[in-house]
Amino acid sequence: AQKVTQAQTEISVVEKEDVTLDCVYETRDTTYYLFWYKQPPSGELVFLIRRNSFDEQNEISGRYSWNFQKSTSSFNFTITASQVVDSAVYFCALRGNYGGATNKLIFGTGTLLAVQP
Amino acid sequence: ETGVTQSPTHLIKTRGQQVTLRCSSQSGHNTVSWYQQALGQGPQFIFQYYREEENGRGNFPPRFSGLQFPNYSSELNVNALELDDSALYLCASSLVTRTQGTQYFGPGTRLLVL
């Protein structure tokens, strides 16, 4: 079975603090893809990053960075110097190797990040 | 480049009624997926359409059905609405060639069933 676990339900930080959102996944597929999406109060899911299972190189993009570790089945997301505009629900998602054109995402339950001014 | 659009934005129905939600995919995309997101939960995959055919389905009953049109837009139909169908319905489009592309989501339709 495939599963994504985001153990942190809510996180509250003060602006300019660094914050890490945890994601642990389960899959038996050898090829899979991991994603992070941001959902502001408006409801639209905004794509942030995609990683392939065969590419464990970590990535930094501005204030965002991602730490992918296959050994612990984790794909954590860090925001450096958080800002009020970062306040949103963040979802980690997994897509297995279904074959064909099937493009199904398995989402975690999300982490609500509140950045206080 | 036009993003994913959905209509309507909000909808109120009563139990037993039928509803149709619409989605226009992002320019250049050929695949549409639908997700249901209950309050406080992550999105749950309903089904996906590729080349106008259903291609993958989640754990949803047959009263959830859909269509994809030649211009890659899509509809989600739900018959015999139940109270538990109240949720945010999200549409996502992607480009599938030899590999599956990243899904980009629309703003969603909030459905309330009374």
> Is residue B1 pLDDT above 70, yes or no?
no
Distances from the Cα of A115 to the Cα of A15, A42, B50, B72, B102, angstroms: 6, 17, 40, 39, 28
> Is residue B20 pLDDT above 70, yes or no?
yes
Which residue of chain A comes nearest to B107, CA vs CA?
A44
Counting Cβ atoms within 10 Å, is residue A41 exposed (0-12), middle (13-18) or buried (19+)? Answer: exposed
Which residue of chain A comes nearest to B110, CA vs CA?
A43
Q: What is the identity of the amino acid at A26?
A: E
> Which residues of chain A does B33 touch, with a Cβ-Cβ cutoff of 8 Å?
103-105
d(CA A88, CA B90): 17
Strands of chain A (E only): list them: 3-5, 10-14, 19-21, 24-26, 33-39, 46-52, 59-61, 64-69, 74-79, 88-95, 106-107, 111-116
Q: Do A105 and B103 touch (CB under 8 A)?
A: yes
What is the pLDDT, as a whole number, of residue B47?
Answer: 95
Instruction: Convert the pLDDT of each residue in B24-39 to its tens digit.
Output: 998 888 899 999 999 9
- Closest in B31, B58, B90 to A45, CB measured: B90
CA distance B84 to chain A (A): 18
What is the pLDDT, as a whole number, of residue A55?
Answer: 81
Instruction: Convert the pLDDT of each residue in B69-105 to its tens digit.
Output: 998 899 999 999 999 999 999 999 998 876 668 899 9
d(CA B72, CA B68): 6
Peptide linkage before B8 cis (omega within 30 of 0) = yes
> If you write DSSP's letter for every residue of chain B in order, what string do you get?
----EEE-SEEEE-TT--EEEEEEPPTT--EEEEEEE-TTS--EEEEEEETTEEEEE-S--TTEEEEE-TTS-EEEEE-S--GGG-EEEEEEEE-BSSSBPPPEE---EEEEE-
Which residue numbers in chain A have pLDDT < 50?
A: none
Closest C-alpha to B36, from B50, B53, B52, B19: B19
Closest C-alpha to A34, from A89, A108, A87, A88: A108
- For residue B97, give every residue at least 6 positions away whose Cβ sits within 8 Å of its Cβ, in sequence order, or none: none
> Is residue B49 pLDDT above 70, yes or no?
yes
A69 Cβ under 8 Å from any chain B Cβ: no
Percent of chain B, pLDDT > 90?
A: 81
